[in-house]
Structure 1
């Protein structure tokens, strides 16, 4: 993985450290996403499809509704129903009506979907190791702490 540089291509007005941090995170997120997309593309999946398979694998036998899947997605998809239609045609998921309420459609990961996501576990873990392993466990924990503080800026004020 090549280092991320947030330095601009041409001179511009001075930027705040917050803006520099934002740019660095955006550049890094794009690079990490591109690398992950490359791995998943070889398996015929988009990042969102892979995310759905991981969500459903973790949900167990009961399955989830379309709305429940949508709220758990990392990358929000405006049309989860159509996404699930495509995945069902690919044989990655199965949908059935709830026995308790026939209006409710539950989606479960299929055996084929389990196989596909299972085959990606090790390569994805290896990719993440290449992306982050050089930091070491202590620095990774620090990074996670810092990122969680960015995601909850009001809570960091309580500690001052």
Structure 2
């Protein structure tokens, strides 16, 4: 009997392997979630990456070097400088060069950004609930553990390069 993904894709034959099916399931779900999350943040004039930067800064509670922000991003961003440029143009962050090491640039939230984040918080929680709130707490915990386990090998191989 065909699985849900096989039916969604109108695939006649079964998948070549459970690994192949799992990866395609992950990619299809991620695409669906990314599209929905992208639309959500556009309502606030942001991208999900810009929001990620603002959340990192709010969570830290103090200015951070731009490279530290890049290391903490959920999704790898090839151009952290351009991302911060756009946030600065929106007056959501300010930059300041380190006086001891001019190569280091600190980024901090503005009051405008803090206000925007406060405005986003509740609708963001509602979106997360809409997307994945139908799973039980135990299922969510298990799901997170499985994703972390799947990611571990890939991260080890990336770190070795």
Report whether the alignment pairs 1:6 with 2:5.
yes
User: Which residue does the alignment assign to 1:151?
Assistant: 151
Q: Report deviation, 1:109.
A: 1.0
| Greater relative contact order, per chain length (Cα 8 Å cut-off, separation 6+) | 1
Query: Given that residues 15 and 21 in structure 2 are in contact (C-alpha distance below 8 angstroms), is that contact kept between their aligned partners in structure 1?
Result: no
- In the alignment, structure 1 segments of 5+ residues that lack a partner are 155-160
What do you get for the CA RMSD once the two structures are aligned? Answer: 2.0
1:75 partner SS: coil
Query: Given that residues 40 and 46 in structure 1 are in contact (C-alpha distance below 8 angstroms), is that contact kept between their aligned partners in structure 2?
Result: yes
State the 4+ residue runs in structure 1 displaced beyond 6 angstroms: none
Query: Given that residues 56 and 108 in structure 1 are in contact (C-alpha distance below 8 angstroms), is that contact kept between their aligned partners in structure 2?
Result: yes
- In the alignment, structure 2 segments of 5+ residues that lack a partner are 155-161
User: Which residue does the alignment assign to 2:92?
Assistant: 92
**TM-score, normalising length: structure 2:** 0.84
Q: Distance in 2 between matches of 1:13 and 1:130?
A: 30
**TM-score, normalising length: structure 1:** 0.85
Q: Distance in 1 between matches of 2:116 and 2:55?
A: 10
Aligned pairs, number:
150
Q: Report deviation, 1:153.
A: 4.6
